[in-house]
Amino acid sequence: MSAIILDGKALATKVEQQLARRVEAIKQHSNGTTPILATILVGDDPASATYVKMKGNACKRVGMESIRLVLDKDITTQQLMQEISKLNDNPDVHGILLQHPVPEQIDERLCFDSIALNKDVDGVTSLGFGKMVMQEFAFGSATPAGIMTILKEYNIDIAGKHAVVVGRSAILGKPMAMMLLNENATVTICHSRTENLSEFVKQADIVVGAVGRPELIRGDWIKDGAVVIDAGYHPGGIGDIELSAIKDRCYAYTPVPGGVGPMTIATLISQTVTAAEKHYLVY
Ligand code: NAP
């Protein structure tokens, strides 16, 4: 039996079509004003510049605007926080994205936490994380929130399943684990100090690879019938999981590319539209 391909690219296209209609409704409600996402890129890292550009392009596709701030790589934490503060105070801006990672002289956590909660559409603030964990309203971290949308779209059972999340970063592994827990999975979180990683992965009904190491998670660690989510992306189109080894024996998997990545961007844009709807009280 061949596995179900959890096609994030197709789902992102569908989400964008719905978003275009919501953006149109906001325009009608607000004398032609569109939602606006402000993106902040610090420095000249080419990969980060590409991600920011892709996010700006997605805004255009759904008919909304983006403001692009490019700041010098030598900027201080205080200077970056001042820029964020201006965007927080700008009523025309509905969402703020600070592209991760920032240069090392900057206190990224402090800057993330200076983003106003109602504009934290990338779900990076500590307060937003806490509220999400407590099942209060907050925008979820975009990558894991996009993964949850994929699981929902494909009717993947989560309640009672054993989910093993490999990686515990603030923007991916930790919020992923908490979102799965909130949907009643039994969750194991693994990281670089985990002993016998393969033994944990072998128990997983749902495995999430979020390690940033090409194919670190080997195919023969994954049990037959598992749901396999690969958040990684490395040159040559490979992820954090050895997907080629499990395509004919897992239940479902996210391809690389075309799985998790497109839904991260769609989720960011979707959360910006929701922020604008709240601002203009469209619903
Ligand atoms: P990160 O901040 O570098 O975190 C990596 C995590 O993996 C850490 O928790 C680390 O453990 C753990 N880890 C590293 N080596 C390990 C090992 N040998 N065994 C077990 N755990 C190990 O990375 P990230 O930002 O979460 O990103 C993870 C992956 O997702 C990357 O491939 C990245 O490109 C991808 N990503 C994709 C998207 C998207 O939109 N598609 C968005 C964000 C990230 P410690 O905590 O112990 O160091």
pLDDT in tens, 222-267: 999 999 999 999 999 999 999 999 999 999 999 999 999 999 999 9
Ligand 1 center to 246 CA (angstroms): 21
* Confidence label for 283 from pLDDT (cuts 50, 70 and 90): low
124 lies in some domain: no
Residues 154 and 107 in one domain: no
Give CA torsion, residues 244, 250, 254, 257, to 10 deg: 10
Beta strand segments in the chain, E = 4-5, 36-42, 65-71, 95-98, 162-166, 186-190, 206-209, 227-230, 252-253
Q: Is the pLDDT of residue 172 over 70?
A: yes
CATH (domain of 208): 3.40.50.720
Ligand 1 center to 250 CA (angstroms): 22
Whether 169 lines ligand 1, by a CB cut-off of 6 Å, is yes
Task: Among 100, 124, 166, 192, say which to mutate for ligand 1: greatest number of ligand atoms within 8 Å of CB.
Answer: 192
Whether 197 lines ligand 1, by a CB cut-off of 6 Å, is yes
Whether 166 lines ligand 1, by a CB cut-off of 6 Å, is yes
Ligand 1 center to 209 CA (angstroms): 8
Nearest CA to ligand 1 atom 18: 192
* Confidence label for 2 from pLDDT (cuts 50, 70 and 90): confident
1 lies in some domain: no
Active site residues: 55, 99, 122
* Confidence label for 281 from pLDDT (cuts 50, 70 and 90): confident
pLDDT at residue 282 in the model:
66
Residues 182 and 257 in one domain: yes
Whether 231 lines ligand 1, by a CB cut-off of 6 Å, is yes
Residues 105 and 159 in one domain: no
pLDDT at residue 224 in the model:
98
Q: In a 3-state reduction of DSSP, which class is residue 267?
A: helix
Report the alpha-carbon distance of residue 216 to residue 238 in Å, rounded: 11
Q: Is the pLDDT of residue 186 over 60?
A: yes
Report the alpha-carbon distance of residue 60 to residue 178 in Å, rounded: 32
Report the alpha-carbon distance of residue 198 to residue 65 in Å, rounded: 45
Ligand 1 center to 8 CA (angstroms): 20
Nearest CA to ligand 1 atom 35: 232
65-71 vs 162-166, strand pairing mode: unpaired
Residues 147 and 252 in one domain: yes
* Confidence label for 9 from pLDDT (cuts 50, 70 and 90): very high
238 lies in some domain: yes
Nearest CA to ligand 1 atom 19: 192
Residues 182 and 251 in one domain: yes
Average pLDDT (59-68) is 97
214 lies in some domain: yes
Residues 44 and 78 in one domain: yes
pTM reported for the whole predicted model = 0.98
Nearest CA to ligand 1 atom 48: 192
Residues 104 and 168 in one domain: no
Report the alpha-carbon distance of residue 5 to residue 237 in Å, rounded: 16
CATH (domain of 99): 3.40.50.10860
Domain count, the chain: 2
Q: Is the pLDDT of residue 106 over 80?
A: yes
267 lies in some domain: no
User: Quick one: which atom of ligand 1 is closest to the CA of 213?
Assistant: 32
Residues 99 and 210 in one domain: no
Residues 207 and 257 in one domain: yes
Task: Among 104, 164, 172, say which to mutate for ligand 1: greatest number of ligand atoms within 8 Å of CB.
Answer: 172
User: Quick one: which atom of ligand 1 is closest to the CA of 265?
Assistant: 40
Residues 169 and 256 in one domain: yes
Say which DSSP state 115 is in.
S
Range of the domain at 80: 31-117
Ligand 1 center to 210 CA (angstroms): 5
Residues 107 and 149 in one domain: no
**Tokens of residue 193, six digits:** 């100090």
Ligand 1 center to 268 CA (angstroms): 19
Percent of the chain with pLDDT over 90: 97
Residues 155 and 242 in one domain: yes
Region at 17 (left for phi over 0; alpha for psi -120 to 50; beta for the rest): alpha
Whether 38 lines ligand 1, by a CB cut-off of 6 Å, is no
